[in-house]
Amino acid sequence: MSEYQYYEFLAVDRPLDPAQLEQVRSLSTRATVSPTRFVNEYHWGDFRGDTTKLVEQLYDAHLYYANWGSRRLILRLPANVLPVKTAAAYAMEEALTVWTRSGHTLLDFSLDSEDGGEWDFETSLELSSMIGLRAELAAGDLRPLYLAWLAALTVWELAEDDEEEYAREMEPPVPAGLTELTGPQRALADFLKVDPDLLTAAAQASEPAPAPGPDRRELAAFIASLPAKEKDDLLLQAVLGSSPQPGPELLARYRSTATSATAAPPTSRRSAAELLDAAYHCRTERTRRE
């Protein structure tokens, strides 16, 4: 069976300039390249570029998967929209790595098959199915990060048992809305092979999802409260099309303020062992019903 690898990059906040286009075109003669997208498929050989550096320097998102089971999604967001400290609370090396570079927070969602003969992949999968995660994270929705943490627990569950480590590992803050994931979030859960019974167990401590958009009057009041000079600077930034655009940062600040004012008391944090046990009971009950 021949090998298959898929590489895709997207520039969201700012298209590549002519010099940057020449730079990425030199990495592959067969790739489809535009100022906002780079895509190539390999049935032999490998991509010559450094995918991590390309996202750090040029692109806002990258998707990779291979038919032996390896898969990777990298998202880049302005650090003032998603602080690295916030994202790092959900990082586990089995599924999510977080770092900063040049004023950006980078999220590396990945899954590596330890079985070289797995050969499972989706030839129709494109970055468009998950690029919406970036806007969700910029707006303060942390469900994608929690899904990555669950993906790491799924890997743990399939590996050798280590009860002491399972008992020590405590879950990060549980975001609202785990029972009603968005389309991009469902795609991420599938991409990272999150155990559905583990997700069901985790969602038991999740509050209902907030309204899909901000309250217009409350948002208007929040913007009106900003200093006049800051509003003038933000408007100028929007008119000039500067990167990053001010909208996502403002929305994240508004949501942060609204959440602090109405936040419910935090629920007790559960250990990985407790969640894995709860997932086992969910699986048993689901099997019994079926």
pLDDT one digit per residue (tens) for the chain, 290 residues: 578 899 999 999 999 999 999 999 999 888 999 999 999 998 888 898 899 999 999 999 999 999 888 899 999 999 988 999 999 999 999 999 999 999 999 999 999 865 544 545 555 689 999 999 999 999 889 999 999 999 999 888 766 666 788 888 899 999 999 999 999 999 999 999 999 999 999 999 999 877 666 667 877 887 888 888 877 777 877 777 666 666 666 776 676 665 544 344 456 789 999 999 999 899 998 888 88
Question: What single letter denotes the amino acid at residue 112?
Answer: D
Q: Is 107 helix (H, G, I), strand (E, B) or coil?
A: strand
**Alpha-carbon distances of 193 from 237, 254, 255, rounded to whole Å:** 40, 33, 30
Q: Are residues 236 and 134 in the same domain?
A: no
The type of residue at 129 is: S
Do 71 and 106 share a domain, yes or no? yes
Residue 193 is classified by DSSP as T
User: 11-20: long-range contacts (C-beta < 8 A, 24 or more apart)?
Assistant: 11/35, 11/36, 11/37, 11/58, 11/59, 11/60, 12/36, 12/60, 12/61, 12/131, 12/134, 13/60, 13/243, 13/244, 13/245, 14/243, 16/58, 20/58
Question: 81 and 30: one domain?
Answer: yes
**Which residues does 123 contact at the CB level (< 8 Å), separation at least 6?**
4, 6
Same-domain pairing of 21 and 52: yes
193 and 223 together in one domain: no
pTM above 0.75, yes or no: yes
Report the distance separating Cα 12 and Cα 135, nearest Å: 10
Question: Would the CA dihedral through 74, 79, 81, 84 be positive or negative?
Answer: positive
Judgement on whether residues 269 and 181 belong to the same structural domain of the protein? yes
The count of domains in the chain is 2
CA distance 251 to 248: 5
- Tokens in use for 70? 């390896």
Is residue 258 located within the same domain as residue 180? no
- Do 106 and 244 reside in the same domain of the chain? no
Distances, alpha carbon 111 to alpha carbons 50, 51, 52, 91, 93, in Å? 18, 16, 15, 13, 10
Domain that holds residue 52: 5-207+264-289
Same domain, 241 and 115: no
User: Are both 223 and 273 inside the same structural domain?
Assistant: no
Residue 271 and residue 201 in one domain: yes
Question: Are both 153 and 28 inside the same structural domain?
Answer: yes
